[in-house]
Structure 1
């Protein structure tokens, strides 16, 4: 093999590596909602091991397991904020009859999305995940889309929720909390999630807008079957 050929092959390998890294960056760091891969959007059930983990946060649990809704969300996402009241209405009406599971999927384009996910997880360490989940969405207009860190706001929010501030700050900064958020993100990426909110209904990507009426219709049909 000539020296020029060796150099050409070496350059080609470097270019291929760079292109692969660019593609990966687009998948992981691209903001907003993108097209979901065909494997997920085909209407086929996705691998269940990536949908719900043993430590996933459940807002409602049903003994019969006929209906399971899994939402990959970003607390700073306005779309997730718009879906929140619909999910809350469903939760209230079908409490104990459906499984409602929340997974973290903070988008890199949102300055405080990852921090907010860690805030929710730190609250979970004190048994207050649901309370913080609600507060984060209810106060989203006050902190969402900020260009600076809103940690001080979240620390105050934790105190308002009655959390131990010292323990909360410790858990907020703990590497295990960040790892917990990353684990949810990893599962979402494995399922083809590229934006939020992304909702799975009984293991299949939701094929309608997540309005109260649409969710109710699908839930009632599944419960009757």
Structure 2
């Protein structure tokens, strides 16, 4: 069963708004400027702020932020956005530039931790492409290239995704050799299990410093992030 939501679009995507699907997650199997991008792991001290809300809910803190998760933005940022993300999801594609703009407003205060929820044709392979870009220090360029090309590959025609990644600088031969790394499989499965434990039903799903975004929408996400930033400034 699918839910439909109105997803605001930026001028970058060339439209004011469009209707995109938020698809059910059924458990199948880093200012974002170049100087502040960290495509490493979410093992920083800033993780404590992200998980404080979970402790209040009686959930283990590691369920939200794992050491293997990609993080974009300052590693020690006091405000952490956790996104359960499917690279083949149209709504995820639409929201990415919006989140990037929000982070640009708070260049030293906000970071994004990516958790995977692959549930569409090509999603799992796209995740593996992104993970293969990490050791090449190309996570964000490849992420943005793959998302930009999403309409050509989200039906499972993955050569378009590979072409986009190559255009972003990915060494495809090295990436393909690492594609089925057991660690990537294990991490993806962990993300799926954590999403289920947290009650994630669709993508994108956001948590800000452990607080879930209850009412889906860009204004609501902006308000939640702003509230957390202002609270940390006091």
Report if TM-score (shorter chain) is over 0.5.
yes
2:132 to 118, 122, 128: 122
Calculate the aligned-residue CA RMSD, in Å. 2.3
Q: Which residue in 2 is equivalent to 1:159?
A: 166
Q: Which residues in structure 2 correspond to 1:1-225 (within 5 Å)?
A: 27-29=26-28, 44=57, 46-61=59-74, 63=76, 65=78, 67-107=79-119, 110-144=120-154, 146=155, 149-211=156-218, 213-225=219-231
Q: Deviations over 1:146-172 (max 9, x none)?
A: 1xx423223322321212222111112
1:82-138 deviations in Å (ceiling 9; x for gaps): 22221111122222211211111101xx11111111111111121211112211221
Instruction: Provide the rounded CA distance (Å) in 2 between the counterparts of 1:61 and 1:48.
Output: 20
Structure 2 CA distance for partners of 1:45 and 1:140, relative to 1, 3 Å: farther
- 8 A contact 2:213–2:224 mirrored in 1: no
Secondary structure of the equivalent of 1:71? strand
Unaligned runs of 5+ in 1: 1-25, 30-39
1 or 2 for the larger relative contact order (CA 8 Å, sep ≥6)?
1
Structure with the larger strand share: 2
1:8-34 deviations in Å (ceiling 9; x for gaps): xxxxxxxxxxxxxxxxxx9535xxxxx
| Higher mean displacement: 90-99 or 121-130 | 90-99
Moved over 6 A (4+): none
Shift of 1:141: 1.5
Partners in 1 of 2:98 and 2:59 — Cα distance? 24
C-alpha contact (below 8 Å) 1:57/1:102 kept by paired residues: yes
Give the C-alpha shift of residue 61 in structure 1: 2.5
Using a 3 Å threshold, how does the CA distance of structure 1 residues 27 and 63 change in structure 2: closer, same or farther? closer
Runs of 5+ unmatched residues, structure 2: 1-24, 29-52
* TM-score normalized by the length of structure 1: 0.72
State how far apart, in whole Å, the 2-side matches of 1:61 and 1:45 are: 27
Decide whether the 8 Å contact of 1:62 with 1:97 is kept in 2. no
Separation (CA, whole Å) in 2 of partners of 1:124 and 1:68: 20
